[in-house]
Structure formats: structure tokens, C-alpha cells
């Protein structure tokens, strides 16, 4: 949810999450809004729980969101929507990031 992502970009990301969750029959997952800090973490139990808005709009630092995801158990598979302009961790996480 960095400042370089437009409202349209964020809407597309939300639509993709809805599509993936529906196609994969996801029972529960975590939604993390993050720009240079984690702004919101929501556990989602169904399609109706997916937020239609996002928080953020500042610079991008991937480290806080990936660190928050790493604390979840079991280790996650992270689907990260980004233009890839930002700070990355010095070491890759020990879980898949798409």
C-alpha cells in the first residue's frame, strides 16, 4: 500500500486476492497492509472478511511486512502486491514470497 500504488492498483490487488481465495478455497489467511510499517493485520476467515480498502500510502519497506509474516505459524506463503520499489531484507525469508 505504498504511495507509488494508485487507488486502481490497490483495487486490482484486492480483486486478485478475492479471486485467488475463491479459486484455492482458502479457509483462513492473513491480510497485511504495509508501506514502510505494518499498518493493519487482519485474519480472514472467508471472502466477506477481505477488506475493500487498504491503509498506507507512504514509502515502501518490505522488511516489516515480511517480519510480521514470519511470526505467523505455520510459516506462510506470502503473496505480495507491489511495484517492487522499496527496501528489501538483506536475507531472503525462509518461506515462499510471490
Tell me the mean pLDDT per 10 residues along the chain, length 98. Answer: 74 79 79 90 78 73 94 83 88 92
Q: What is the pTM (predicted TM-score) of this model? A: 0.80
pLDDT of residue 87: 92
pLDDT of residue 64: 95
pLDDT of residue 49: 72
Q: How many residues does the chain have?
A: 98
Helix H, strand E, coil C: the string for the chain is CCCCCCHHHHHHHHHHHHHHHHHHCCCCEEEEEECCCEEEEEEECCHHHCCCCCCCCCCCEHHHHHHHHHCCCCCCCECCCCCCCCECCCCCCCCCEC
Contacts of 46 (CB under 8 A, 6+ apart): none
User: What are the pLDDT digits (tens) for 64-76?
Assistant: 999 999 999 777 7
Amino acid at each position: 500500500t505504498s504511495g507509488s500504488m494508485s487507488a486502481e492498483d490497490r483495487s486490482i490487488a484486492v480483486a486478485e486476492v478475492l479471486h485467488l481465495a475463491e479459486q484455492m478455497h482458502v479457509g483462513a489467511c492473513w491480510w497485511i497492509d504495509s508501506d514502510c510499517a505494518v499498518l493493519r493485520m487482519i485474519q480472514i476467515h472467508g471472502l466477506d472478511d477481505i477488506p475493500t480498502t487498504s491503509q498506507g500510502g507512504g514509502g515502501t519497506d518490505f522488511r516489516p511486512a515480511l517480519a510480521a509474516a514470519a511470526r505467523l505459524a505455520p510459516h506462510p506463503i506470502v503473496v505480495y502486491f507491489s511495484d517492487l520499489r522499496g527496501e528489501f531484507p538483506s536475507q531472503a525469508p525462509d518461506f515462499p514470497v510471490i
